[in-house]
Amino acid sequence: MNLTEFVAYQVEDAGYQLSQTLAGFPTESVETAVGTMMSAKDILIHLTECYLAAVSALNNDEFKWGQYSPAESSWEAILKEFGVKREAAAQMIAAKGEEGAKTASMYVIAHDYYHVGQLASIRLSVDPNWDAFSIYRH
């Protein structure tokens, strides 16, 4: 496995874990924050902004953090936009080889895995019967 294949695997695996934490997430709890963590809704907005920043970095454009807000505020719309922007970033990362790998590391991989942990914690607090081990394929 070369670097770009490894990065593609990590981007895909982090996406899988995110999808598992979000699958069936109780809609009535998407704005619930646990302790000092963001809510699930806020995490998705934040991650969407990270994907936009990744694309900007790969295009050598300046990105202004804190400027992004979703086009619509419903959970369904935020979830959809999150998926679209993540996929666009993943495709651009794959197309950019080593440069894409560096960008993926900074804006996507570490960020996604970090927020998987937060989403899992929130999910368990609002849905104690959720199987947290479902994020793993093994």
pLDDT average, residue stretch 76-105:
95
Q: Which helix (H) or strand (E) holds 70?
A: none
Spell out the long-range contacts of 90-95 with Cβ–Cβ below 8 A and sequence spacing 24 or more: 90/8, 90/11, 90/12, 90/15, 92/54, 92/55, 92/58, 93/7, 93/8, 93/11, 93/54, 93/58, 94/4, 94/8, 94/11
Q: What is the pTM of this model?
A: 0.95
Q: Is it the case that residue 122 has pLDDT exceeding 90?
A: yes
- Give the pLDDT of residue 107: 95
Q: Is it the case that residue 50 has pLDDT exceeding 90?
A: yes
pLDDT average, residue stretch 48-62:
97
pLDDT average, residue stretch 119-129:
96
Question: What type of residue is 107?
Answer: Y
Q: Is it the case that residue 82 has pLDDT exceeding 90?
A: yes
pLDDT average, residue stretch 65-83:
96
Q: What is the pLDDT of residues 29-46, one digit of tens each?
A: 999 999 999 999 999 999
Quick one: pLDDT band at residue 138, thresholds 50, 70, 90? confident
What are the boundaries of each domain within the chain? 3-24+37-135
Give the rounded distance of the alpha carbon of 106 from its chain centre: 13
